[in-house]
């Protein structure tokens, strides 16, 4: 038989383990600010704890945002996930502790909160991250930041298969010409631009193939980095591209393919101070992508992927040029963009500089169409 003292101690322990906000469930967490015990995110965000949770959020998120001012990887993840946040309940994407008890799980999705979020998103342009950011509550923004920090953001990015990975097998004997056409008709890739033929193409520098290689590898990096969706943040993507492409940024001329590729890799490494990914896996994927683009889907269509990449870059820089104009005329209501911009201050994204890059891309595209199959 237990003593009265033992029973008293047990009761006190049980009382201390009760959530101090709802006084119903077992306390599983401790507020890092006021050290009160609570059982769930719902209690943490309740009115009785609002002053503390809001203050804690403001302090920590501001520090996090400040630390990410030069973190393009996290900012891009945020841009992608914000467009999909309306499809998930916020509590479902928290990195919760699985207790194995569905009934008492403290971080299960709350129907009322989900409906409230859906209501707020009804008239919001889901392609505008600033609009999306503006309708999120302080707690939702905090949860969003946690999603980025714990790496769960990757789960919300759609699977993208790069168009340059598709190839047509070369046959030793091609009996029917139509058979070859049918094989290539299954290829799917972005449209290739029509460009005028330049009269001075025959006087092109012998270094031109290597300059094109530098451009192609820089393009391959941003295409992989932005998961094939550069156009949704054109000026940021253009800034990253110009940061790593010396031929476009500084008109650097390369004398061989190795130096052209090495330049891109080295520039990515220099930008690693901003945590631009340059790990071994990323660089391997980059080199494989660059090689695939330069090789094309087959010997019969060797240059089509190079032409496609140059066309995609032209569309990207054209969109970035328009965004530069819009940005100059936009004074406010751009909280997300201001906090998470990837634009590199060292890169000149003026309309004039972009125009010069566009003309160079047109020249390269014209040259590749005429001579690329022989020289690339």
pLDDT of residue 141: 79
Task: Based on the fold, state whether residues 259 and 138 are members of the same structural domain.
Answer: no
Is residue 117 domain-resident?
no
Phi, psi of 183 (to 5 degrees): -65, -40
Closest CA to 129 of 18, 229, 274: 229
> Cα–Cα–Cα angle for 9, 10, 14, nearest 5°?
115
Q: Which residues contact 128 (CB under 8 A, 6 or more apart)?
A: none
Q: Give dist(CA 256, CA 248) in Å, integer.
A: 17
Task: Based on the fold, state whether residues 317 and 218 are members of the same structural domain.
Answer: yes
Enter the tokens of residue 24: 């119903």
SS3 246: helix
Phi, psi of 26 (to 5 degrees): -70, 135
Is residue 232 domain-resident?
yes
Q: Which residues contact 103 (CB under 8 A, 6 or more apart)?
A: none
The answer to whether residues 272 and 292 touch, using CB atoms and an 8 Å cutoff, is no
Structural domain for 51, as ranges: 18-64
* Whether the predicted model's global pTM rises above the 0.75 cut: no
Q: Give dist(CA 52, CA 144) in Å, integer.
A: 19
Task: Based on the fold, state whether residues 213 and 328 are members of the same structural domain.
Answer: yes
pLDDT of residue 90: 42
Q: Which residues contact 297 (CB under 8 A, 6 or more apart)?
A: 166, 167, 168, 184, 187, 304, 305
Sign of CA dihedral 108, 126, 342, 309: positive
Q: Give dist(CA 230, CA 223) in Å, integer.
A: 7
SS3 187: coil
Is residue 44 domain-resident?
yes
Q: Give dist(CA 51, CA 55) in Å, integer.
A: 6
Is residue 9 domain-resident?
no
Task: Based on the fold, state whether residues 146 and 268 are members of the same structural domain.
Answer: no
The answer to whether residues 105 and 96 touch, using CB atoms and an 8 Å cutoff, is yes
pLDDT of residue 223: 96
Identify the DSSP state of 136.
Answer: S
Q: Which residues contact 275 (CB under 8 A, 6 or more apart)?
A: 70, 71, 72, 73, 74
Task: Based on the fold, state whether residues 210 and 343 are members of the same structural domain.
Answer: yes
SS3 260: helix
Is residue 45 domain-resident?
yes
pLDDT of residue 13: 46
Phi, psi of 104 (to 5 degrees): -105, 5
pLDDT of residue 341: 53
* Cα–chain center distance at 33: 32
State how far the alpha carbon of 96 is from the alpha carbons of 92, 137, 152, 156, in Å: 8, 20, 11, 17
The count of domains in the chain is 3
Q: Which residues contact 33 (CB under 8 A, 6 or more apart)?
A: 52, 53, 55, 56
Is residue 90 domain-resident?
no
Q: What does the buried/exposed string (b/e) look like for 301-330 if buried means 16 or more CB atoms within 10 Å of the residue's CB?
A: bbbbbbbbbbbbbbbbbbbbbebbeeeeee
Is residue 191 domain-resident?
no
pLDDT of residue 198: 67
pLDDT of residue 335: 58
Task: Based on the fold, state whether residues 146 and 279 are members of the same structural domain.
Answer: no
The answer to whether residues 341 and 236 touch, using CB atoms and an 8 Å cutoff, is yes
Average pLDDT per 10 consecutive residues for the chain, totaling 376 residues: 46 66 83 80 80 63 50 57 50 43 45 65 73 80 73 74 87 50 71 81 82 98 93 90 96 97 94 72 95 94 96 96 74 54 63 94 93 78
């Amino acid at each position: 038989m237990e003593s009265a003292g033992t029973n008293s101690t047990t009761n006190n322990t049980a009382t201390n383990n009760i959530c101090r906000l709802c006084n119903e469930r077992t306390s599983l967490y401790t507020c890092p600010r006021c050290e009160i015990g609570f059982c769930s995110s719902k209690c943490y965000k309740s009115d009785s704890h609002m002053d503390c949770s809001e203050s804690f959020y403001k302090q920590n998120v501001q520090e996090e945002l400040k630390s990410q001012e030069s973190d393009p990887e996290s900012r891009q993840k945020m841009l992608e996930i914000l467009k999909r946040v309306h499809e998930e309940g916020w509590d479902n994407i928290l990195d919760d502790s699985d207790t194995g008890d569905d009934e008492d799980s403290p971080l299960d999705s709350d129907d009322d909160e989900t409906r409230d979020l859906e209501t707020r998103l009804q008239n919001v342009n889901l392609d505008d991250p600033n609009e999306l950011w503006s309708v999120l509550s302080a707690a939702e923004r905090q949860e969003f930041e946690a999603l980025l920090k714990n790496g769960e953001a990757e789960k919300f990015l759609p699977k993208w298969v790069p168009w340059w990975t598709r190839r047509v097998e070369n046959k030793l004997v091609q009996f029917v010409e139509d058979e070859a056409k049918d094989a290539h008709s299954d290829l799917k890739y972005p449209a290739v631009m029509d460009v005028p033929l330049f009269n001075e193409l025959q006087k092109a520098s012998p270094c031109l193939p290597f300059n094109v290689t530098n451009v192609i590898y820089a393009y391959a990096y941003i295409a992989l980095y932005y998961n094939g969706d550069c156009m949704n943040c054109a000026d940021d993507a253009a800034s990253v591209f110009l940061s790593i492409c010396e031929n476009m940024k500084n008109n650097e001329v390369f004398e061989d393919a190795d130096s052209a590729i090495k330049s891109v890799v080295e520039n990515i490494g220099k930008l690693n101070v901003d945590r631009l990914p340059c790990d071994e896996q990323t660089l391997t994927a980059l080199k494989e992508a660059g090689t695939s683009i330069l090789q094309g889907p087959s010997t019969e269509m060797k240059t089509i992927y190079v032409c496609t990449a140059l066309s995609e870059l032209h569309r990207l820089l054209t969109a970035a040029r328009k965004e530069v104009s819009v940005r100059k005329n936009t004074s406010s209501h751009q909280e997300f963009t201001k906090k998470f911009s990837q634009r590199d201050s060292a890169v000149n994204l003026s309309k004039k500089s972009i125009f010069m890059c566009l003309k160079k891309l047109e020249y390269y595209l014209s040259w590749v169409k005429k001579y690329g199959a022989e020289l690339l």
